[in-house]
Structure 1
Amino acid sequence: MQYNPALDGLRAVAVLAVVAFHCRLPFTGGGSIGVDLFFVLSGYLITSILRSEVTETGTVSLGRFYWRRALRLWPPLLLMLAAYAAVAPVLFPARDAVIDTALAATYLTDYAMAFWHEPLMLGHTWSLSVEEHFYLLWPLVILATRSLSQRALTVMLGVAFIAATAWRIADAMIWQDWYRTYYRFDTRMSGLMLGGLIAVMPWRPKPETAGLVGRLAAYVLIVGLLISPFRSPGFIAWGGIIVDLAAGGLILSVISTEGTRLHRLLTSRPLVYLGVISYSVYLWHYPLSRLLRYELPSSVTFLVVAGFAIVVAALSYEFIEKPLKSMRRRPAAPEGAI
């Protein structure tokens, strides 16, 4: 599939929103919607890559897909976890660094956070766990549905999005437990399904319509960033629909045309580069934000945390992630979102 730098721009926007939220920067109380944007983007990219392989070869090479995912995701994660384990006895003496890192390294944080609120200082790795479960299962789904027509697959993924949304709403309404609903893979699949739906559906808006869709989606997400009530079961249940659809609208806009102001903004070089290194920015920012946000003003915390995470992520990208690209079969293909 053809590389679209605007999608890296979307990654940059998403990671900045999350970092600002975790640093408790004013007017970013809904910054967790950056994770929702990541999920929809990941569903779109991974489905596009797998469906392209099916179109070209008639099948999906599971071994190659899992190997590429492991090379992309594990080395930066293990580096961050090793650093956390080294400093945790000093900076976080109340934590059990062995358990924390084991949960994160084995991608169990989503359910551990949902039911036990652990590992607290590595809680951000819950979204990596959600995505890892998706990566494990989704190639099998694409392989099993390879004989379906584009129309049939579009209908199937539309139904999957509705079912995943209904399951999240039911879980939130029945249990009234924000932790239980927010973190689990099975209750956070709707964005991934919507991204997959966007990847396979044949319709794309015309440039004028794409521009309008992109602007409306951006306005909705900005409002959500400013006012969404975090840790509200009601918002997780019902507001999640709006956030998913707005994230999907942004992606649909930038993949449909390059002529909009939104596309030009997202393809600015600083945003694209930040999007390229966004995975490691996400990995490194959270423990430091937990350490500083109760000690420093929020603006200072954001500047220190964002600056530190960007520098470390740039080094990780240059010396770890880029060299590993040569070990993957299709280095030109876009990476999945974090």
Structure 2
Amino acid sequence: MEISQLTFLRFIAASAVVIFHFGREVPSLSWGSAFWPYANTAVSFFFVLSGFILAHVYGSRGVLNRRDFYVARFARIAPLYWAALLVVAAYAIYKHTLDGTAALLNATLLQSWVPGYALTLNSPGWSLSVEVFFYLCFPWLLRTLKNIRHSSMLVVVMLVVWVTNLTLHVALMNSQNLQSLSAGHEFTAYSPLTHVATFVVGVIGGLLFDAHRQVFARIAMPFVAASVLGLSLLFFWPSPILRFHHNGLLAPLYLLLLWGLGAAKEARLSRLMSTRPLVLLGEASYGVYILQFPVGIVHAPLAARFHWGVEATFWSYFALLVLVSLVAFVWVERPLRTRIKAAFARPGARQRASVA
């Protein structure tokens, strides 16, 4: 069953990352000045949401055919990822700054595995490099977790994995010897191995959601309220703990939000978020995320030429980014996704695989 009310959350998260990169000095966004320096935590939200949705789609039947699954995942991320990479690489060639190793690692989605290269070229692509690793692991991970029959044990596994990952992250962040090296910092911040627990939280959360959806429906709004309150307290009354926000610190709060909104299908907020315009923005959010630098390359000279101020520069850029992302979703992502699955997936598997 599709959970359409969660789709718009992707647009909110992608927009937060865009503001983190380009909008922190915009006067009209000063209300969130305490939050924007930490808005890159939205990438962790993407990892939780990815695991949650995959578990929801495949949890009841499993990944029946890994080829179909991998084709569907490839069709979802590759076309727009490579299109964005080509634009940035062409710009680097024009500026005589293209690094051949960086280009190869980015083209093969391996950049997050090699310290020093995670943020090269189209820097948001590092998270897609991490996501590909999650996709490769998912069939095995789902099968392993489904063998745990009791929900209480799943909760224990989720907490142990999350606490272990967070403890490792804190230790790495506090290691002055490691953090003084750029390679050590990049491993801590961008390696797939330091983010995998965030994805696992999402997968287990999705399995628990499907197993106890009726129970969650009765306490859906308290879940949403607890999540929003917890996030607000952390971000608007910042504490030193936010230093460790990047690698899944907030995953449990994100999961509460997904449980609450996912279960409260008939709530007014859920119905609003299920409206077609908001769902469409959510569907185009991948473009908002992966195209932010390519669009910036095109937009920056225009803003400089016409001497736009900070306010006009950012909002014209953001409007252009959303427009390009919507066009890309309708005319590039969706058609190519269908064609790739038609070419490589087994007959009858395409529609099922495309749901995730």
Q: Tell me which residue corresponds to 2:27.
A: none
| Cα distance in 2 for residues equivalent to 1:297 and 1:13 | 25
Q: Check the 8 A contact 1:72/1:321 in 2, yes or no.
A: yes
Structure 1 residues 132, 153: closer, same or farther in 2, change over 3 A?
same
Cα distance, 1:150 vs structure 2 = 4.7
Q: What are the ranges of 5 or more consecutive residues in structure 1 without an aligned counterpart? A: none
- Aligned to 1:52, the other structure's residue is in SS state coil
Cα distance, 1:188 vs structure 2 = 1.5
What TM-score, normalized by structure 2, do the two folds share? 0.79
Q: Tell me which residue corresponds to 1:39.
A: 47
Q: Check the 8 A contact 1:30/1:227 in 2, yes or no.
A: no
Superposed CA RMSD in Å reads 3.1
Q: Tell me which residue corresponds to 1:63.
A: 67
Q: Tell me which residue corresponds to 2:149.
A: 149
Q: Tell me which residue corresponds to 2:107.
A: 105
Q: Tell me which residue corresponds to 1:318.
A: 330
Structure 1 residues 119, 16: closer, same or farther in 2, change over 3 A?
closer
Q: Which runs of 4+ in 1 moved over 6 A?
A: 293-296
Letter in 1 for 2:168: W
Q: Check the 8 A contact 1:214/1:262 in 2, yes or no.
A: no
| Cα distance in 1 for residues equivalent to 2:107 and 2:135 | 15
Deviates more, 1:266-275 or 1:168-177: 168-177
| Cα distance in 2 for residues equivalent to 1:287 and 1:302 | 15
| Cα distance in 1 for residues equivalent to 2:65 and 2:244 | 36
Q: Tell me which residue corresponds to 2:182.
A: none
Correspondence list, 1:1-338, <5 A: 2-25=1-24, 26=30, 27=33, 28-54=36-62, 60-90=64-94, 93=95, 95-96=97-98, 98-112=100-114, 115-116=115-116, 118-151=118-151, 152-175=153-176, 177=179, 178-201=185-208, 202-204=211-213, 205-207=215-217, 209-222=219-232, 235-237=242-244, 243-289=250-296, 292=300, 297-326=309-338, 327=342, 329-331=349-351
What TM-score, normalized by structure 1, do the two folds share? 0.82
- Identity %, equivalent residues: 23
| Cα distance in 1 for residues equivalent to 2:227 and 2:295 | 31
| Cα distance in 1 for residues equivalent to 2:300 and 2:233 | 27
Deviations 1:224-283 (A, max 9, x none): 555768xx8x53536866521221111011111223343234324332111101112211
Q: Check the 8 A contact 2:84/2:291 in 1, yes or no.
A: yes
Structure 1 residues 244, 156: closer, same or farther in 2, change over 3 A?
closer
| Cα distance in 2 for residues equivalent to 1:38 and 1:220 | 18
| Cα distance in 2 for residues equivalent to 1:89 and 1:253 | 47
Deviations 1:169-207 (A, max 9, x none): 232233563544221211122321111121122344544
Structure 1 residues 174, 60: closer, same or farther in 2, change over 3 A?
farther
| Cα distance in 1 for residues equivalent to 2:188 and 2:57 | 29
Deviates more, 1:319-328 or 1:220-229: 220-229
Structure 1 residues 61, 312: closer, same or farther in 2, change over 3 A?
same
Q: Check the 8 A contact 1:3/1:334 in 2, yes or no.
A: no
Cα distance, 1:111 vs structure 2 = 3.3
Structure 1 residues 98, 239: closer, same or farther in 2, change over 3 A?
closer
Deviations 1:13-66 (A, max 9, x none): 111111111113342222212212111101111222332332xxxx63111111
Q: What are the ranges of 5 or more consecutive residues in structure 2 without an aligned counterpart? A: 25-29, 180-184
Cα distance, 1:156 vs structure 2 = 3.4
Deviations 1:103-147 (A, max 9, x none): 2222223234xx315544422111111111111112122234554
Structure 1 residues 52, 302: closer, same or farther in 2, change over 3 A?
farther
Q: Check the 8 A contact 2:224/2:261 in 1, yes or no.
A: yes
Residues matched between the structures, number: 324
Cα distance, 1:289 vs structure 2 = 4.3
